[in-house]
Structure 1
Amino acid sequence: MTDFPAARLNMVESQVRVNAVTDGRVIDALGAVPRERFVPLSRQGIAYVDEDVRISDGNPPRFLMEPRVFAKLAQLAAIGPDDLVLDVGCGTGYSTAVLSRLAGTVVALESDEDLAARAGATLSDLGVDNAVVVTGPLTEGYAKQAPYDVIFINGMVSSVPEALQNQLREDGRLVTVLGDGVSGRARLYMRSGGGFSGRDAFDANIRFLPGFEPAESFVF
């Protein structure tokens, strides 16, 4: 039987701290949230491995982002205790549970109604009371609660949709992994002076979030 607290500690010490994650609030949040609660029972034994873990066998399947990349993105976002965060593609809610320990309020957006229901139930069971799970197309964001201080995208994207750009407040931050499915770079985007620009932060290669894949091109 897996010793989950020990596995969680090992994740923090051997995957997170050693990869330049130094923000104490991020480290404490990762150490407090039971990651195994957010994966299917049959996969709980691998909940803390340093790779993406499948959480849904749908078409396309969905994955829980690997701990190293997730932790570095959370640190990159520099989430403050009063920030309003949009968690895009929350899946079963793990990212929301962690981000809720860093932010004032988290709006967790999920397109899959079954995953959203699982996320809501698990978050409620864990006593997370500063997050709400909503459903809708991931690429459209959730304008009803905008503007957001931080937008966190749970997967690789080929580009950042204009709808999400427009839901950032002035001086807001958006973090994601931009790539082509072969390689990628974590990026920090900011809205300033009405503009939207970004910079590379670190190498990362994770799964595409559904709807954010590159558009198919015709081959002649």
Structure 2
Amino acid sequence: MKDTFKHKGMRQQLVTVLVTKGIKNEKVLRAIAKIPRHLFMDSSFLDHAYQDKAFPIAADQTISQPYTVAFQTELLQVKKDDKVLEIGTGSGYQTAVLCELGAKVFSIERQQELFKKTSKFLPQLGYRAKKLIFGDGYKGLKEEAPFDSIIVTAGAPFVPKPLLSQLKIGGRLVIPVGEDVQIMTLFIRNGAKEFEQHEFGEFRFVPLLEDKN
């Protein structure tokens, strides 16, 4: 597992691309500049690791496009020690970004293969989530709620009610909603039953899987 000057240089170029696409949050950009994204991918994709593109990983899933990761993270407005729930651990790249921002991360993964791989891999890189859980993201994590923010990293056909209910007052949920194409949606909880909703255009994600058992 090597991270070379060449990789660091490529990350800086990636950060420049993200800035031109409108990412402004300095902490998010610093996290992207620091995290060795190539280590989260299969070695055959090394040349593509710092292009602003999504790529396939195990279990028919993808590692999200860096712009999407940065965009979602920016919407969360993460502060140090925030309690953040991530739905869809995947490769662990987004988890690492949240850890880099100082968040206490609880992350749920539906795919056993990915869950096992990422649970071992993240600590090797020095990223320690509070909890990595193999389970159903639609249900959230009631026993650890409420959360300062919740991020969903897969396309949800609808907004799962448990996720809204597990937000703190003032908390933020960032979720791509839709079937084939998703609309990036931000919910801010203003009261017990009061939510403010904002939409940020179209994105494409792999579908959020529901536990059918």
What's the CA shift string for 1:98-131, capped at 9, x where partnerless?
0111243001111112211221222111112344
1:202 aligned residue: 200
Matched position secondary structure for 2:20: helix
**Alpha-carbon distance in 2 for matches of 1:48, 1:131:** 28
Once the two structures are TM-superposed, the CA of residue 62 in structure 1 deviates from its matched residue by 0.6
Contact 1:29 1:102 in 2 (8 A): yes
Matched position secondary structure for 2:90: coil
Return closer, same or farther for 1:204/1:44 CA change in 2, 3 Å cut-off: farther
**Alpha-carbon distance in 2 for matches of 1:130, 1:63:** 20
**Alpha-carbon distance in 2 for matches of 1:131, 1:83:** 11
Matched position secondary structure for 1:42: helix
**Alpha-carbon distance in 1 for matches of 2:86, 2:119:** 13
Match of 2:37 among 35, 38, 44: 35
**Alpha-carbon distance in 2 for matches of 1:156, 1:23:** 24
Normalised to the residue count of structure 2, the TM-score between the two structures is: 0.89
1:48 aligned residue: 50
Letter in 1 for 2:30: D
Match of 1:187 among 185, 188, 213: 185
Matched position secondary structure for 2:203: coil
Contact 1:85 1:103 in 2 (8 A): no
Contact 1:157 1:179 in 2 (8 A): yes
Return closer, same or farther for 1:210/1:186 CA change in 2, 3 Å cut-off: closer
| Matching of residues 73-92 of structure 1 within 5 Å | 73-92=72-91
2:127 aligned residue: 128
**Alpha-carbon distance in 1 for matches of 2:125, 2:194:** 36
**Alpha-carbon distance in 2 for matches of 1:18, 1:199:** 26
| Matching of residues 98-117 of structure 1 within 5 Å | 98-117=97-116
**Alpha-carbon distance in 2 for matches of 1:196, 1:69:** 27
Matched position secondary structure for 1:187: strand
1:218 aligned residue: none
Contact 2:155 2:208 in 1 (8 A): no
1:215 aligned residue: none
Q: Could you tell me which runs of 5 or more consecutive residues in structure 2 were left unpaired when the two chains were aligned.
A: none
What's the CA shift string for 1:157-192, capped at 9, x where partnerless?
22110111111111110012223313x322111122
Letter in 1 for 2:78: I
| Matching of residues 116-155 of structure 1 within 5 Å | 116-155=115-154
2:209 aligned residue: 211
Using the aligned pairs only, state the percent identity: 27
What's the CA shift string for 1:37-56, capped at 9, x where partnerless?
11122223222222221112
Normalised to the residue count of structure 1, the TM-score between the two structures is: 0.86
Contact 2:107 2:129 in 1 (8 A): no
Moved more, 100-109 or 44-53: 44-53
Matched position secondary structure for 2:117: helix
Q: What is the aligned residue count?
A: 206
Contact 2:190 2:196 in 1 (8 A): no
Q: Could you tell me which runs of 5 or more consecutive residues in structure 1 were left unpaired when the two chains were aligned.
A: 213-220
